[in-house]
Structure 1
Amino acid sequence: MIRRGWPALALALGLWMGPAMAQDVLEKRVFEGGAYQTRGGATIGNLRIGYQTMGRLNAEGTNAILICHFFSGNSHAFGRLSANGPAGYWDAIIGPGKPIDTDRYFVVSADTLVNVNVPDSATVTTGPASINPDTGRPYALTFPVVSMRDFVESQKRLLDSLGVKRLAMVAGPSNGGLQSIEWAAAYPGFIERVMPVIAADIDAWMQGWLDVWEAPIRLDPNWAEGNYYGQGREAPLRGLAEAWKIVTLHARDRLWAKQYDRGVPEGQDPARRIGDRFAIERWLDDAAAARARTSDANSFLYMVRANQLFLNEYPSFAAALSGGPARWLVVSAPTDRVFLAEGVREMVETLKGTGKQVETAELAGPLGHLNGVAAMAPVGDRIRAFLAQ
């Protein structure tokens, strides 16, 4: 398959990695999971998620590593999906001879349910934009609510189908880090190591931020209570673009924004005309509009809800992880404006309080939260050592 969504995302985020080389070209596969009952008790008729792998599973099925993706990402964490396409977002640390060495490990990464990139033909997911077999029309908001635990359960079905008996590690950035933690709570005996990156507990403050992320979608008249699919209807692209604008700025740091300080695009004069734009506003508008064209508004809402339902089946974070895997490497970015340093510290203290062996590593750079997606190479040696333990 030709990968279209990730280049658009990479350009929007300023992470384009240059021309591809004809190595590590991987096949994107589709897992057909059959009927699936959600944790909320509803039934999805045909669960489908895309995935990619690198490396070989050993005879015991114990050398697998699962990589979970961030909120706006998909399974393209490593390798290339076409000879001229970009590398995956964690390609710097995953591959032959790299810190997550695919000469030793069988690495799997999968699209989540309700993936926001559903317009991209290289993303395979089941969600509100999927066709309901009972009606022949998209589910829209009749699609059942899914939680982070549902992401885990769909991935567990995939791993079972591949013959995986144990995970040497589960890891991922942001939403992927949350999935890693949810995995540790759900299947403690199945996992040896956990590496959440730029992630911490979802408390009420973060639930509120997630509501702010999605609010512009609901205010767009074209959203029409989710019923915008079909001929003659317009998708709520304006509201979706405004939602992505909030996410894009929230995921970056002041150091990144300095390049736009006092900047004004040619022909603009904000000091004289209220409708004119500053350079940072123009960049955010353009990046968000590009992202809106490659994503689905309803799926954005469902992804927000899944994040808000992080560890919702447990009375507390400590209770969820009391019996989880012992070895943890928590990777954070001190300038992260999404998962603040104090929240990461609280999570580490809680993990240690439940008897976990916790190591920490920090990411430097001007990208804030996005350092955990685009700037992982400097902690490569820490990851290699962690896997060697």
Structure 2
Amino acid sequence: MLFVTFISLANQSLAQDEVMLVKKQRFTIKNFTTFNGQNIPQVDVGWESYGRLNDAKDNVVLITHYFSGTSHAAGKYQASDAQAGYWDAIIGPGKAIDTNSFYVLSADTLVNLNVHDPMVITTGPASLDPNTGKPYGLSFPVVTIRDFVEVQKALLESLGIEKLYAVAGPSMGSLQALEWASAYPDRVERVISVIGAGAMDAWTVAALEHWAIPIKLDANWDDGRYYGKTRPLAGLTTALAQVTQTALHPRYFKAFNPEHHPLEAGPLSDIRQSHQVVKWLWSLAGARAQVADANHLLYLVRASQLYLAGMGDSLEQGLQRVKAKSLFLPAENDLILMPYLAQDVYQQLNDLGKDTQLHSISGPMGHLNGLRNIKQQEAQIRLFLASGSQS
């Protein structure tokens, strides 16, 4: 049985040049059953919304976030915030996902990486197990992309929303978007998959494991039993450095480090010293590690590794269930979810006679082109959302 709590929020219509202010909400489920049949006594996730839900409740666009992201897809919590949400370029009044027309909603996932960020609400290994009063650690159930979708579905149902005009998301969010269309084909009219995939192939599963290994090798990790003790920050920082580097592209590194020269004096004279580019990368990762949790990163890696659209016997089986129109936007030089992954699922949907299209995002940022250069596809997204739904 599900017990839900929520506070509804309807934003007033804004002019395109005004700051869109948003508020973080809390959603709670009691006794959530995971895809693999395990029970979580209580699940809490944060969510936020943009625009206004119409009376028919048929103008809903769900935004599903990326691996290290949060529900903060657009707008600001306060006008003085340094940055807006990650897809603010395309979500808002008059933008591609127009909040004057659509009610846009996004939720923090289970095991959200940024559990120590005060603006994130999530349940995972760092949460207290109500049965023991202690953090779950590795006793927390393995969760999947389907579980993220099920929590979102429960949230939407608590608001009386039964159908989605569209689901859109980048990276790990693209997996959730396609999973929605396969798991609940009659509830989803359109899917926008940005820097995404339909399944994790053998190469990608092995590549993602590189993000987990540094944490497991950190002595402070202690098989996940570090809560209340020294955190495995060295392993977590190294993992996040690997995530950051893989998410970018050599062209970006070259542009961002124009003074790089291999024969730096420090590394040449002392094996303990590092190149400036290495210091820069680890500084970025170290700052991210302060709000992140090592176990949560491991669980997100596993959820991503386990992904297969439809969570059944084959990708074809999962895609056969899809009724939604779909738009795939891979990044040309993506080193994480390489373009062939989106191309493969697009081709399979096309072969199955589904209404699908594919366009590429270019730029120097690799995987992150799907976040930083998404405005490049603004016209295509706007056109796709204006098109009729799949019958």
Residue 74 of structure 2 is aligned to residue 78 of structure 1: yes
Deviations 1:182-204 (A, max 9, x none): 11111011000000100112111
| Counterpart mapping for 1:10-159 below 5 A | 23-85=19-81, 86-159=83-156
* 1:314 Cα deviation from its structure 2 partner: 1.1
Instruction: Please state whether the residue corresponding to 2:75 is helix, strand or coil.
Output: coil
Give the match for residue 368 of structure 2.
Answer: 370
- Runs of 4+ off more than 3 Å: 264-268
| Counterpart mapping for 1:216-231 below 5 A | 216-230=214-228
* 1:81 Cα deviation from its structure 2 partner: 1.2
Deviations 1:43-69 (A, max 9, x none): 111111100001111222211000000
8 Å contact from structure 1 (residues 222, 228) kept in 2: yes
Query: How far apart in 1 are the matches of 2:259 and 2:54?
Result: 56
Give the match for residue 334 of structure 1.
Answer: 332
Aligned residues: 367
* 1:316 Cα deviation from its structure 2 partner: 1.4
Give the match for residue 166 of structure 1.
Answer: 163
Provide closer, same or farther for how the CA distance between residues 204 and 267 of structure 1 changes in structure 2, counting only shifts above 3 A: closer
Give the match for residue 210 of structure 1.
Answer: 208
Deviations 1:295-351 (A, max 9, x none): 000000111111112127311111101021241110011010111122222121111
8 Å contact from structure 1 (residues 28, 52) kept in 2: yes
Instruction: Please state whether the residue corresponding to 2:269 is helix, strand or coil.
Output: coil
Query: How far apart in 2 are the matches of 1:272 and 1:296?
Result: 35
Provide closer, same or farther for how the CA distance between residues 268 and 50 of structure 1 changes in structure 2, counting only shifts above 3 A: farther
8 Å contact from structure 1 (residues 265, 277) kept in 2: no
Long gaps (5+) in structure 2: 1-16
Greater shift after overlay, 265-274 or 348-357? 265-274
Long gaps (5+) in structure 1: 1-20
Query: How far apart in 2 are the matches of 1:338 and 1:166?
Result: 31
Greater shift after overlay, 257-266 or 138-147? 257-266
* 1:261 Cα deviation from its structure 2 partner: 5.5
Give the match for residue 270 of structure 1.
Answer: 267
Q: Which amino acid aligns with 2:317?
A: A
Query: How far apart in 2 are the matches of 1:110 and 1:35?
Result: 19
RMSD, aligned CA: 1.7
Instruction: Please state whether the residue corresponding to 1:362 is helix, strand or coil.
Output: coil
Instruction: Please state whether the residue corresponding to 1:165 is helix, strand or coil.
Output: coil
Provide closer, same or farther for how the CA distance between residues 268 and 237 of structure 1 changes in structure 2, counting only shifts above 3 A: farther
8 Å contact from structure 1 (residues 57, 164) kept in 2: no
Over the matched positions of the two proteins, sequence identity in percent amounts to 44
Give the match for residue 13 of structure 2.
Answer: none
| Counterpart mapping for 1:285-300 below 5 A | 285-300=282-297
* 1:40 Cα deviation from its structure 2 partner: 1.0
Query: How far apart in 2 are the matches of 1:273 and 1:64?
Result: 58
Query: How far apart in 1 are the matches of 2:323 and 2:62?
Result: 15
Deviations 1:111-166 (A, max 9, x none): 00000100111100010011111111111111111111000000000010112121
* 1:273 Cα deviation from its structure 2 partner: 2.4
Residue 334 of structure 2 is aligned to residue 345 of structure 1: no
Query: How far apart in 2 are the matches of 1:299 and 1:240?
Result: 10
Q: Which amino acid aligns with 2:302?
A: R
Greater shift after overlay, 106-115 or 199-208? 199-208
Greater shift after overlay, 360-369 or 240-249? 360-369
Instruction: Please state whether the residue corresponding to 1:284 is helix, strand or coil.
Output: helix
Residue 249 of structure 2 is aligned to residue 253 of structure 1: yes
Provide closer, same or farther for how the CA distance between residues 58 and 22 of structure 1 changes in structure 2, counting only shifts above 3 A: closer
Query: How far apart in 1 are the matches of 2:215 and 2:20?
Result: 38
Provide closer, same or farther for how the CA distance between residues 23 and 265 of structure 1 changes in structure 2, counting only shifts above 3 A: farther
